[in-house]
Amino acid sequence: MRSATISRKTAETDIELTLNLDGTGESDISSGVGFLDHMLTLFARHGRFDLTLSCVGDTVVDDHHSVEDIGICLGRALSEALGDKRGICRYGDTTLPMDEALILTAVDVSGRSVLCFDLDVPTQKVGSFDTELVEEFFIALASNAGLTLHIRKLAGRNTHHIIEGCFKSFARSLRKAVAIDPAFADEVPSTKGVLA
């Protein structure tokens, strides 16, 4: 089973996170940030990943530290669960409609951290959530997982729909990328022999 548990405690956050890549989409998430709970529940379901998360953070300041540190932990869990990445498909992409929004994501589990983020949103808040934190989350995740990740809005007017489409599309792209390719189950999918 490809899974990992990450514990991370700082002066700003105390996080326990478990990720199972070969799950059924079950989740138990308490991030302290309601909108992020919703997005991570969608991520787990659409990726068919099992995800448990507990975060106690300094949200009395704002949500930044919690969102960023959860991205760090999720990225580390993904990297650890994949190990040497033997047998994975490596690439995945999804163009996903969410009502009027249309979001493209493309993932390469390359071992190299690159985020190309073009998710223009019309508002600075969804409820109490700062929408600029979506990019911070994906910076932290891609950096710690070693992902090349492209996220692009092709259409959309409603901020909630745009961000929700982003998380759903990313989950489905990642599911494709980390799936085992039976024809190459014993090979690292790189001519270099390593993904790092």
172 close to 165: Cβ distance less than 8 angstroms: no
Q: What is the pLDDT of residues 174-183, one digit of tens each?
A: 999 999 999 8
Note the residue count of the chain.
196
Q: Where are the domains of the chain?
A: 3-184
Q: What is the pLDDT of residues 97-106, one digit of tens each?
A: 999 999 999 9
| Cα dist from 183 to 42, 47, 66, 87, 108, whole Å | 30, 22, 40, 8, 19
Cα-Cα-Cα-Cα dihedral sign, residues 101, 179, 86, 21: positive
Q: How far apart are CA 98 and CA 90, in angstroms?
A: 25
Q: What is the pLDDT of residues 109-162, one digit of tens each?
A: 999 999 999 999 999 999 999 999 999 999 999 999 999 999 999 999 999 999
pLDDT at residue 67, rounded to an integer? 98
Please provide the CATH number assigned to the domain covering 3-184.
Answer: 3.30.230.40
Q: For all residues of the chain together, what is the average pLDDT?
A: 95
Q: How far apart are CA 165 and CA 39, in angstroms?
A: 9
3-state per-residue secondary structure call for 64-96: HHHHHHHHHHHHHHHHHHHCCCCCECCEEEEEE
